[in-house]
Amino acid sequence: MLELQDVCFTIKKSGESINLVDHVSLDIPKGHFMAIVGPSGCGKTTLLKTIAGLNPESAGALLWEGRNLSQEGDFSPSEMGYVPQFSIAYDPLTVDESVEAATRLRVKYDSTEELDDRIDKVLEETGLAAISDRPVKVLSGGQKRRLGLAMELVSNPKILLCDEVTSGLDPRSEREIVHLLHDISRKEGRIVMSVTHSLAHLELYDSILVLHEGRVAYHGPPEKLTHYFSVKDSEEIYPRLANQAPERWQASWLKHKDSYYAMLVEERRSRIERGELSVKSYPAGTDVPDRATDLPGFFSQFATLLSRRWRIFFRDRGQVFLQLAILLCFPVLVTLFSDKASGNIRRYSDRMQDSVYEEIQEQQSVRADQAKVGSAISGIIMFQVVLLALMGSNNSAREIAGERPIYEKEKFAGLRPLAYLSSKVAFLACLVIAQSLWMALFVNFFGTFRGEFVEHASFLLLINASMTAICLAISSLMRTAEQASLLSIYLVGFQLPLSGAVLALPEHIEAFTRPFISAYWAWSGSVEALQSQVHGAVKSVIDTSLSAQESCLFTLYVHIVVALVLAWVGTSRPQWE
Ligand SMILES: Nc1ncnc2c1ncn2[C@@H]1O[C@H](COP(=O)(O)OP(=O)(O)OP(=O)(O)O)[C@@H](O)[C@H]1O
């Protein structure tokens, strides 16, 4: 039994407290199919979220099988399924793959047979078995809703909360989905609560809850609905509601509640007698909880997410093409300029020149060589650094923000944020290593790096890793993928001017900005790895001071660690719409 006792959900608006859910009291027994209806904005979704635990109740109590959810913790992820208004499946995956990933993330299983059985059972139950190999992106609206339900049913929840799963569907699909929900509620004593705009097929529900401005206006049998509101047709209920203040509807309901609840109890008793409801699930008038299905471990969730990420990556041809194009074209772009950096730098001759004039001429010529080669080498290093920073931002700016609603839904269903973040880090690390090493090797092959190659390659790897981690943090903290992309692009754009590699910054600005500019540390570290003569040539053309390699390495490591901590904060923080 689910009981709501005077439950309120209150928000503060302009210093005033507003009850979006206002003293709602309900009794919902097992095996019950209930519709939540009411005019738009009356608080249907808010009530559903309050029951689910997404909106913490401000007053009152929620009791589930005698357990006070406010005091003893919310539903366990396997006890409750929540089907939101948005799709929770990835378009490039098939129906079967989506249900399999949902099962692997939510359910601990002992053998592959057990896993397959569970997936087959759910696909059968939701009528998706025949189209299990179809990609999600080609499914109809009704099929997508079925998939959403299937992905919740994998954990065999005892209570299923559905938010507008029939909205936007054609009448036939809507009828099919309501029938499906009805059938789901008839199995294993499951409670199904469905928020709906539609007043069609009300006869299939065991009870109808009518909300008006967050208050209960009616909760009783569907066949008594029109009688209660003194209307001929259920379509007339909403205009009728508007004729009276919500407080009066609530007061009127409280007066009649007992007699309507007695009807519900009577109907329930006859269902049990007709054998439509298993009495086994109601021993001695009490509800005994089943053993909650355990969640899979960290590594199992990590492996499922990582393999799903690679699958989605390879299915998205545009993404693969973009990554390959970037991987190949960026190093080619750098080598176009490598000729200028490979010129010789003449040394000062040991021999005394015959005249002062010749001496000055030689000095000028050596300086000209130094300036030419030094600025070309410095420029090429910075070019590599900026391109790798750009790759880093392209790698991760949308990685979390682009799938936030799905991630939030999966987290709510038991996904560990650390498993999620680790899978992202593992996936991105592969991209970072491939991009950075390829850039270093390719450029080195066409125009040998005139210094310690391994050290230079390490700095290229670190700048890419640092920007990827920073943009991942941005992605986890921003509300939308567009915000995250824009901020990441600006961040890369500012790297070049603020690095001091092109123009030295005023000292008071440099002292403030330098610690945060990853590009400076990667550029400076790479310059320090140059042979001494080339290093001297670069130093002769720059006004910006260089830092020791150890400081550069340390700072880049700090950037990566801080960014990952922020990404952890961003992924752990709830961000439901
Ligand atoms: N966290 C919140 N903070 C402020 N206002 C909120 C919050 N959640 C919901 N609301 C407001 O509460 C009201 C009820 O919203 P809710 O989404 O529950 O309505 P609904 O009955 O489901 O509407 P619809 O049928 O149009 O989906 C709306 O006016 C909404 O803007």
Distance CA 8, CA 52 (A): 14
Distance 21 CA to ligand 1 centre (A): 10
pTM > 0.90: yes or no: no
Distance CA 514, CA 274 (A): 77
Per residue in 498-521, pLDDT (tens digit) is 887 777 778 788 888 889 999 999
CA 25 to chain centre: 34
Ligand 1: nearest atom to the Cα of 214? 14
Determine the residue type at 509: I
Distance 265 CA to ligand 1 centre (A): 31
**Ligand 1 pocket, 49 CB below 6 A?**
no
The fraction of the chain above a pLDDT of 90, given in percent, is 63
Q: Residue whose CA is closest, atom 3 of ligand 1?
A: 11
Q: At what angle do helices 356-396 and 518-528 cross, to 10 degrees?
A: 140
Distance CA 448, CA 446 (A): 6
CA 1 to chain centre: 33
Q: Residue whose CA is closest, atom 24 of ligand 1?
A: 40
CA 49 to chain centre: 19
Structural domains in the chain plus CATH codes:
32-56+74-79+157-255 (3.40.50.300), 298-344+355-572 (no CATH)
**Ligand 1 pocket, 216 CB below 6 A?**
no
Given a cut of 90, is residue 291 above it in pLDDT? no
Distance 144 CA to ligand 1 centre (A): 24
Per residue in 141-170, pLDDT (tens digit) is 899 999 999 999 999 999 999 999 988 888
Q: How confident is the model at residue 287 (pLDDT cuts 50, 70, 90)?
A: very low
**Ligand 1 pocket, 50 CB below 6 A?**
no
Strand order of the sheet with strand 67-68? Answer: 16-28, 2-13, 59-64, 67-68
Q: Residue whose CA is closest, atom 23 of ligand 1?
A: 41
Q: What is the pLDDT of residue 354?
A: 67
Per residue in 101-145, pLDDT (tens digit) is 999 999 988 889 999 999 999 999 999 999 999 999 999 989 999
Q: Residue whose CA is closest, atom 4 of ligand 1?
A: 11
The fraction of the chain above a pLDDT of 70, given in percent, is 92
Distance 76 CA to ligand 1 centre (A): 25
